[in-house]
Protein backbone atom coordinates (compact mmCIF):
# COMPACT_ATOMS: atom_id res chain seq x y z
CA UNK A 1 0.00 0.00 0.00
CA UNK A 2 1.28 3.47 -0.86
CA UNK A 3 2.52 5.80 1.87
CA UNK A 4 0.08 8.27 3.32
CA UNK A 5 1.73 11.08 1.35
CA UNK A 6 1.37 9.30 -2.00
CA UNK A 7 -2.26 8.44 -2.64
CA UNK A 8 -5.05 9.36 -4.97
CA UNK A 9 -7.90 11.40 -3.55
CA UNK A 10 -8.55 14.70 -1.83
CA UNK A 11 -7.94 16.33 1.55
CA UNK A 12 -9.87 19.28 2.96
CA UNK A 13 -7.33 21.91 3.98
CA UNK A 14 -8.02 25.42 5.31
CA UNK A 15 -11.42 25.61 3.62
CA UNK A 16 -10.43 24.11 0.27
CA UNK A 17 -10.38 20.63 -1.20
CA UNK A 18 -6.85 19.92 -2.43
CA UNK A 19 -5.34 16.98 -4.30
CA UNK A 20 -4.02 14.43 -1.77
CA UNK A 21 -0.34 14.75 -2.74
CA UNK A 22 -0.53 18.55 -2.59
CA UNK A 23 -1.70 18.72 1.04
CA UNK A 24 1.58 20.02 2.50
CA UNK A 25 2.85 22.35 5.23
CA UNK A 26 6.06 24.35 5.58
CA UNK A 27 9.01 22.82 7.44
CA UNK A 28 8.97 25.81 9.84
CA UNK A 29 5.39 25.20 10.95
CA UNK A 30 5.26 25.72 14.69
CA UNK A 31 3.58 22.33 15.26
CA UNK A 32 6.52 20.46 13.79
CA UNK A 33 8.92 22.02 16.30
CA UNK A 34 6.77 22.42 19.41
CA UNK A 35 3.90 19.89 19.02
CA UNK A 36 1.24 22.63 18.92
CA UNK A 37 -1.34 20.34 17.36
CA UNK A 38 -4.64 18.67 18.31
CA UNK A 39 -6.61 16.09 16.40
CA UNK A 40 -9.59 13.75 16.25
CA UNK A 41 -9.88 10.22 14.88
CA UNK A 42 -13.36 9.15 13.84
CA UNK A 43 -14.99 6.27 12.01
CA UNK A 44 -17.63 6.54 9.33
CA UNK A 45 -20.05 3.61 9.02
CA UNK A 46 -22.46 3.35 6.09
CA UNK A 47 -21.80 6.97 5.22
CA UNK A 48 -22.33 8.36 8.74
CA UNK A 49 -19.62 9.34 11.21
CA UNK A 50 -20.34 7.85 14.63
CA UNK A 51 -20.62 10.55 17.33
CA UNK A 52 -19.36 13.07 14.79
CA UNK A 53 -20.50 16.21 16.53
CA UNK A 54 -19.01 15.11 19.86
CA UNK A 55 -15.66 14.69 18.15
CA UNK A 56 -15.88 18.16 16.61
CA UNK A 57 -16.76 19.68 19.96
CA UNK A 58 -13.81 17.92 21.58
CA UNK A 59 -11.44 19.20 18.89
CA UNK A 60 -12.41 22.77 19.73
CA UNK A 61 -12.07 22.06 23.45
CA UNK A 62 -8.62 20.55 22.92
CA UNK A 63 -7.55 23.69 21.09
CA UNK A 64 -8.82 25.84 23.96
CA UNK A 65 -6.90 23.74 26.49
CA UNK A 66 -3.69 24.29 24.52
CA UNK A 67 -4.31 28.05 24.18
CA UNK A 68 -4.81 27.48 20.46
CA UNK A 69 -8.26 28.71 19.42
CA UNK A 70 -9.47 26.86 16.34
CA UNK A 71 -10.91 29.30 13.77
CA UNK A 72 -13.80 27.03 12.77
CA UNK A 73 -17.16 26.35 14.39
CA UNK A 74 -18.53 22.89 15.10
CA UNK A 75 -20.85 23.24 12.10
CA UNK A 76 -17.94 24.17 9.84
CA UNK A 77 -15.88 21.20 11.05
CA UNK A 78 -18.87 18.94 10.46
CA UNK A 79 -19.21 20.27 6.91
CA UNK A 80 -15.51 19.74 6.23
CA UNK A 81 -15.74 16.08 7.28
CA UNK A 82 -18.81 15.46 5.17
CA UNK A 83 -17.16 17.11 2.19
CA UNK A 84 -13.97 15.04 2.38
CA UNK A 85 -15.91 11.78 2.68
CA UNK A 86 -17.97 12.71 -0.36
CA UNK A 87 -14.95 13.87 -2.35
CA UNK A 88 -13.26 10.50 -1.82
CA UNK A 89 -16.42 8.45 -2.50
CA UNK A 90 -16.24 6.69 0.86
CA UNK A 91 -18.96 5.08 2.95
CA UNK A 92 -16.92 3.14 5.53
CA UNK A 93 -13.81 5.10 6.48
CA UNK A 94 -11.54 6.50 9.12
CA UNK A 95 -11.63 10.29 9.38
CA UNK A 96 -8.75 12.35 10.77
CA UNK A 97 -9.21 16.06 11.55
CA UNK A 98 -6.10 17.91 12.71
CA UNK A 99 -5.56 21.53 13.74
CA UNK A 100 -2.11 23.02 14.24
CA UNK A 101 -0.08 26.18 14.60
CA UNK A 102 1.35 26.90 11.19
CA UNK A 103 4.30 28.92 9.98
CA UNK A 104 4.14 32.66 10.66
CA UNK A 105 5.90 35.52 12.36
CA UNK A 106 6.86 33.45 15.43
CA UNK A 107 9.44 30.67 15.48
CA UNK A 108 10.23 30.45 19.17
CA UNK A 109 8.18 28.83 21.89
CA UNK A 110 5.55 31.60 21.64
CA UNK A 111 3.31 31.32 18.60
CA UNK A 112 0.36 33.64 19.12
CA UNK A 113 1.02 35.46 15.82
CA UNK A 114 1.00 32.26 13.77
CA UNK A 115 -2.21 31.08 12.09
CA UNK A 116 -4.06 28.04 13.38
CA UNK A 117 -4.69 25.77 10.40
CA UNK A 118 -6.93 22.76 9.97
CA UNK A 119 -7.21 19.77 7.67
CA UNK A 120 -9.55 16.78 7.32
CA UNK A 121 -8.68 13.53 5.59
CA UNK A 122 -10.49 10.22 5.17
CA UNK A 123 -9.41 6.78 4.05
CA UNK A 124 -10.40 3.13 4.29
CA UNK A 125 -8.94 1.49 7.40
CA UNK A 126 -9.73 -1.97 8.72
CA UNK A 127 -9.44 -3.37 12.24
CA UNK A 128 -6.80 -1.42 14.19
CA UNK A 129 -5.46 -4.55 15.91
CA UNK A 130 -6.00 -6.96 13.02
CA UNK A 131 -7.13 -10.43 14.05
CA UNK A 132 -6.87 -9.49 17.73
CA UNK A 133 -10.54 -8.49 17.50
CA UNK A 134 -11.31 -12.22 17.43
CA UNK A 135 -8.68 -13.88 19.65
CA UNK A 136 -7.59 -11.07 21.97
CA UNK A 137 -4.73 -8.60 21.78
CA UNK A 138 -1.43 -9.12 23.58
CA UNK A 139 -0.17 -6.07 25.50
CA UNK A 140 3.21 -5.14 26.90
CA UNK A 141 3.47 -2.98 30.03
CA UNK A 142 5.03 0.38 29.17
CA UNK A 143 7.98 1.75 31.13
CA UNK A 144 6.62 5.28 30.67
CA UNK A 145 3.76 6.72 32.71
CA UNK A 146 0.87 8.96 31.74
CA UNK A 147 1.64 12.46 33.05
CA UNK A 148 -0.05 14.44 35.77
CA UNK A 149 -2.69 16.97 34.64
CA UNK A 150 -0.53 19.51 36.47
CA UNK A 151 2.14 19.06 33.77
CA UNK A 152 0.00 19.17 30.62
CA UNK A 153 -3.76 19.31 29.86
CA UNK A 154 -4.40 15.57 29.80
CA UNK A 155 -8.03 16.13 28.76
CA UNK A 156 -6.83 17.42 25.37
CA UNK A 157 -6.32 15.09 22.42
CA UNK A 158 -2.98 16.71 21.74
CA UNK A 159 -0.14 15.47 19.56
CA UNK A 160 2.52 15.98 22.22
CA UNK A 161 0.81 13.54 24.60
CA UNK A 162 1.36 10.72 22.11
CA UNK A 163 5.16 10.69 21.90
CA UNK A 164 5.52 8.19 24.75
CA UNK A 165 2.73 6.20 23.10
CA UNK A 166 4.77 5.89 19.91
CA UNK A 167 7.87 4.80 21.82
CA UNK A 168 5.90 2.34 23.95
CA UNK A 169 4.12 0.81 20.98
CA UNK A 170 7.41 0.36 19.11
CA UNK A 171 8.82 -1.48 22.13
CA UNK A 172 5.66 -3.60 22.41
CA UNK A 173 5.71 -4.56 18.73
CA UNK A 174 9.36 -5.57 19.00
CA UNK A 175 8.24 -8.04 21.69
CA UNK A 176 5.48 -9.45 19.50
CA UNK A 177 2.70 -7.49 21.23
CA UNK A 178 -0.07 -5.40 19.67
CA UNK A 179 0.10 -2.52 22.14
CA UNK A 180 1.23 -1.41 25.59
CA UNK A 181 -0.59 -0.61 28.82
CA UNK A 182 0.39 2.51 30.75
CA UNK A 183 0.25 3.23 34.43
CA UNK A 184 -0.34 6.86 35.38
CA UNK A 185 2.03 9.16 37.28
CA UNK A 186 0.71 7.75 40.59
CA UNK A 187 1.18 4.13 39.58
CA UNK A 188 -2.47 3.31 38.85
CA UNK A 189 -3.57 1.45 35.71
CA UNK A 190 -4.26 4.10 33.06
CA UNK A 191 -4.82 3.19 29.39
CA UNK A 192 -3.23 1.72 26.28
CA UNK A 193 -1.33 3.86 23.76
CA UNK A 194 -4.50 4.92 21.97
CA UNK A 195 -7.38 3.24 23.77
CA UNK A 196 -9.11 3.05 27.14
CA UNK A 197 -9.14 -0.22 29.08
CA UNK A 198 -11.89 -2.21 30.81
CA UNK A 199 -11.78 -5.28 33.06
CA UNK A 200 -14.36 -7.83 34.24
CA UNK A 201 -14.51 -9.54 37.64
CA UNK A 202 -17.45 -11.54 38.98
CA UNK A 203 -19.79 -10.16 36.32
CA UNK A 204 -18.99 -6.51 37.05
CA UNK A 205 -16.87 -4.11 35.00
CA UNK A 206 -14.00 -1.98 36.26
CA UNK A 207 -12.30 0.85 34.38
CA UNK A 208 -9.86 3.61 35.40
CA UNK A 209 -11.14 7.06 36.34
CA UNK A 210 -10.21 9.43 33.50
CA UNK A 211 -8.54 12.01 35.73
CA UNK A 212 -5.13 11.75 34.04
CA UNK A 213 -6.14 10.21 30.71
CA UNK A 214 -8.46 11.04 27.85
CA UNK A 215 -12.10 10.30 28.61
CA UNK A 216 -12.67 8.59 25.29
CA UNK A 217 -15.92 9.03 23.39
CA UNK A 218 -16.02 5.28 22.75
CA UNK A 219 -15.29 4.73 26.46
CA UNK A 220 -18.29 6.85 27.44
CA UNK A 221 -20.48 5.10 24.88
CA UNK A 222 -19.55 1.63 26.15
CA UNK A 223 -20.11 2.58 29.79
CA UNK A 224 -23.60 3.77 28.87
CA UNK A 225 -24.29 0.54 26.97
CA UNK A 226 -23.15 -1.60 29.90
CA UNK A 227 -25.30 0.29 32.39
CA UNK A 228 -28.30 0.09 30.05
CA UNK A 229 -27.84 -3.69 30.14
CA UNK A 230 -27.88 -3.65 33.95
CA UNK A 231 -24.17 -4.42 34.30
CA UNK A 232 -22.46 -2.63 37.18
CA UNK A 233 -19.56 -0.41 36.08
CA UNK A 234 -16.99 0.77 38.62
CA UNK A 235 -14.99 3.81 37.53
CA UNK A 236 -12.15 3.75 40.00
CA UNK A 237 -8.42 3.70 40.61
CA UNK A 238 -6.99 0.28 39.77
CA UNK A 239 -3.70 -0.99 41.15
CA UNK A 240 -1.37 -2.99 38.84
CA UNK A 241 -1.47 -6.05 41.12
CA UNK A 242 -5.24 -6.27 40.57
CA UNK A 243 -4.62 -7.44 37.01
CA UNK A 244 -4.19 -10.96 38.40
CA UNK A 245 -7.78 -10.88 39.72
CA UNK A 246 -9.58 -9.88 36.53
CA UNK A 247 -11.14 -12.50 34.25
CA UNK A 248 -11.75 -10.49 31.07
CA UNK A 249 -10.32 -7.35 29.50
CA UNK A 250 -10.97 -5.21 26.46
CA UNK A 251 -9.88 -1.92 24.89
CA UNK A 252 -12.11 0.84 23.51
CA UNK A 253 -11.36 3.63 21.07
CA UNK A 254 -12.53 5.00 17.76
CA UNK A 255 -9.80 3.09 15.92
CA UNK A 256 -9.79 0.10 18.29
CA UNK A 257 -13.61 -0.01 18.53
CA UNK A 258 -14.08 -2.80 21.13
CA UNK A 259 -11.06 -5.12 21.04
CA UNK A 260 -10.68 -8.06 23.45
CA UNK A 261 -7.38 -8.44 25.31
CA UNK A 262 -5.94 -11.89 25.92
CA UNK A 263 -2.75 -10.95 27.73
CA UNK A 264 -1.08 -8.01 29.50
CA UNK A 265 2.49 -8.76 30.51
CA UNK A 266 2.29 -12.06 32.44
CA UNK A 267 -1.46 -11.75 33.10
CA UNK A 268 -3.93 -13.62 30.89
CA UNK A 269 -7.65 -13.05 30.26
CA UNK A 270 -10.42 -14.99 28.57
CA UNK A 271 -12.44 -13.53 25.72
CA UNK A 272 -15.57 -14.06 27.77
CA UNK A 273 -19.29 -13.53 27.36
CA UNK A 274 -19.43 -9.88 28.50
CA UNK A 275 -16.53 -8.95 26.22
CA UNK A 276 -18.05 -10.68 23.19
CA UNK A 277 -21.51 -9.27 23.87
CA UNK A 278 -20.39 -5.66 24.25
CA UNK A 279 -18.23 -5.93 21.12
CA UNK A 280 -21.20 -7.25 19.14
CA UNK A 281 -23.56 -4.65 20.57
CA UNK A 282 -21.14 -1.85 19.75
CA UNK A 283 -20.82 -3.08 16.17
CA UNK A 284 -24.61 -3.04 15.84
CA UNK A 285 -24.87 0.44 17.39
CA UNK A 286 -22.35 2.15 15.09
CA UNK A 287 -24.02 0.64 12.03
CA UNK A 288 -27.60 1.29 13.13
Q: State the Cα–Cα distance between residues 199 and 205, nearest whole angstrom.
A: 6
Strand 10-13 versus strand 93-101 pairing type: unpaired
- Per-residue CA distances from 41 to 65, 85, 160 (Å): 18, 14, 16
Which residues contact residue 125 at a Cβ distance below 8 angstroms, ignoring those fewer than 6 apart? 93, 94, 255
Is 48 among the residues known to form the active site? no
Which of these is catalytic: 81, 133, 138, 157? 157
CA distance 147 to 213: 8
- Return d(Cα 39, Cα 32) in angstroms, integer: 14
| Angle, alpha carbons 270-273-275 (nearest 5°) | 70
Nearest Cα to Cα of residue 2 among 22, 23, 20? 20
CA distance 204 to 234: 8
Q: Which residues pair with 145 in a beta bridge?
A: 183
Longest dimension (CA), the chain: 59
Per the CB < 8 A criterion, the answer to whether 38 and 116 are in contact is no
By the 8 A CB rule, do 247 and 275 touch? no
CA angle 81, 84, 89 (to 5 degrees): 125
C-alpha to C-alpha distance for 110 and 30, rounded to whole angstroms: 9
Catalytic residue set: 157
Amino acid sequence: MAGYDDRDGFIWMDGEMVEWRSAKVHVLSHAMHYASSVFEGERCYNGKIFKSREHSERLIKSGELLDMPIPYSVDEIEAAKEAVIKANNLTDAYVRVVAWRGAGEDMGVASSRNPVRMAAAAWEWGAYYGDAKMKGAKLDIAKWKRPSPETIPTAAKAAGLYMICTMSKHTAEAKGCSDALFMDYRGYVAEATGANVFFVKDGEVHTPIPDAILNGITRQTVIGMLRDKGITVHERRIMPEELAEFEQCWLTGTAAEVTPVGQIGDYTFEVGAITREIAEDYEKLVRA
